[in-house]
């Protein structure tokens, strides 16, 4: 399942018992603040989720694709998520439960 902004707005409105348009304004503002901070090169730490870091990937040469000559890929600024220990623990638990579902002995 994919969670989109609309889902976040609806869940926030229900959890905080507020109107959806106010919830939408809050979610939009938070996303804009995170975006602005990353654009100026600051890292953003979100408790229980992790830290978003702007990372510069240096220019590099691509491989030859379909007989064409390699091209240079320019420097690129990307966002990296360093996940929190809480998320890492939850992912390990999820992975174990998924693996157990696939073992016929446990079904």
Encode pLDDT of 16-61 as tens digits.
Answer: 999 999 999 999 999 999 999 999 999 999 998 999 999 988 999 8
Over 80: is that where the pLDDT of 85 sits?
A: yes
Evaluate whether residue 18 is within a structural domain.
Answer: yes
Over 60: is that where the pLDDT of 107 sits?
A: no
Residue 73 pairs with which residues in a beta bridge? 60
| Domain interval for residue 33 | 5-58+71-106
Q: What total of structural domains would you count in the chain?
A: 1
Over 90: is that where the pLDDT of 64 sits?
A: no
Residue 76 pairs with which residues in a beta bridge? 57
pTM: 0.70
Evaluate whether residue 65 is within a structural domain.
Answer: no
Evaluate whether residue 14 is within a structural domain.
Answer: yes
* 107 vs 13: which has the higher pLDDT: 13
Evaluate whether residue 53 is within a structural domain.
Answer: yes
Over 60: is that where the pLDDT of 11 sits?
A: yes
């Amino acid at each position: 399942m994919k969670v989109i902004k609309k889902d976040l707005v609806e869940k926030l409105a229900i959890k905080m018992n507020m109107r959806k348009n106010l919830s939408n304004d809050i979610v939009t503002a938070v996303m804009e603040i995170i975006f602005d901070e990353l654009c100026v090169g600051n890292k953003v730490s979100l408790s229980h989720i992790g830290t978003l870091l702007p990372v510069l990937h240096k220019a590099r040469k691509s491989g030859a694709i379909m007989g064409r000559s390699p091209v240079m890929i320019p420097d690129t600024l990307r966002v990296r998520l360093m996940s929190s220990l809480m998320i890492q623990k939850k992912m390990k638990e999820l992975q174990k439960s998924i693996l157990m579902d696939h073992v016929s002995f446990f079904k």
